[in-house]
Amino acid sequence: MGKPFGETDWRAMSQAQLDAGLNNSTAVANSGEITAGWVKRSEEMKAKYPEHLDLSYGTGARHKMDFLKAADGGPTLVLIHGGYWQMRSKDFFTCFAAGPMAHGINVAVIGYTLAPEATLEEIVAEMHAGIDALVEQSPALGADPRRIVVSGWSAGGHLTATTLTHPDVKGGVAISGIYDLEPIRHSYLNEKLKLDEAMAKRNSPLAQPGGPAAPLSLVVGGHELPLLRQQTADLAAFRASHGLPVTYEEIPGADHFTIMEQLESPTGRITTLIKQMVERI
């Protein structure tokens, strides 16, 4: 059998190979420059929509969300940032509201406590608490609490998949995510995450007996690291085998960071997938 994504048997890799196979920042030489641009454009976006920033959904310092309103009574997209659950913040991610908002979709950019201050299990629970608060606050914000979809990138892709079990989430678009945490547990990333085998299994969408019935679109860049491309394809196949609604596609030529251009642009492919999902709910 061929290897469409290259070498993806992480158990056969040396420690150095596995660590490199998961290190997106090293794989994309100008990643720091790209993410600095995200921060700059996010600050500009927040300056345009200052009315509902840093809304609290809990007592923690990072239990905050920014709500950017595009349409009164409209649907809401929850955006979840990445950073392997231990880096970055929602303030890197507000710029990506631009694409969906051009189509009348409100956007809530949600933060969470980073590891090691929080375990991965606690982070997953924080996402559910954040959506609980969004549902409660939506009428006052002028949004429809019955029309909520979720999207996230990298670690946020994993959190998108784990948030699909929330009863008020109608669908998700997961970008370049991690869906089997076992290789993460054996990599340099676990120094802060401190996953054990049981926690990794409980929080891996690919290790569950089935999955949530809400539709999930899975997207990954054609130039991303093989392990990430494989994980995305594996989750798509897993959901399909369980009769769960799923789509899978690669963005040709996109790496782990440039793929986000497809969300920031009103005509980007990821924006289109979100728009199509919102239209079906």
Please indicate, yes or no, if residue 102 is contained in any of the structural domains: yes
As for how many domains the chain has, the answer is: 1
Closest alpha carbon to 262 in 104, 252, 75: 252
Please indicate, yes or no, if residue 2 is contained in any of the structural domains: no
Please indicate, yes or no, if residue 240 is contained in any of the structural domains: yes
Please indicate, yes or no, if residue 253 is contained in any of the structural domains: yes
Q: Is the torsion defined by CA of 267, 270, 276, 278 positive or negative?
A: negative
Q: How far is Cα 87 from Cα 115, in angstroms, rounded to an integer?
A: 8
∠41-42-43 over CA atoms, to 5°? 90
Which structural domain, as residue segments, surrounds residue 159? 23-280
Please indicate, yes or no, if residue 1 is contained in any of the structural domains: no
Provide the CB-side half-sphere exposure for 91 (13 A, CA).
11
The pLDDT-based confidence of 281 (bands split at 50, 70, 90) is confident
**pLDDT tens digits, 55-69:** 999 999 999 999 999
Please indicate, yes or no, if residue 214 is contained in any of the structural domains: yes
What interhelical angle do 155-163 and 120-141 show, nearest 10?
70
Q: How far apart are the first and last CA of the chain?
A: 39
Q: What CATH number should be reported for the domain holding residue 42?
A: 3.40.50.1820
Please indicate, yes or no, if residue 6 is contained in any of the structural domains: no
**pLDDT tens digits, 205-229:** 999 988 899 999 999 999 999 999 9
Please indicate, yes or no, if residue 8 is contained in any of the structural domains: no
Report the predicted TM-score, pTM, of the whole model to 2 decimal places.
Answer: 0.95
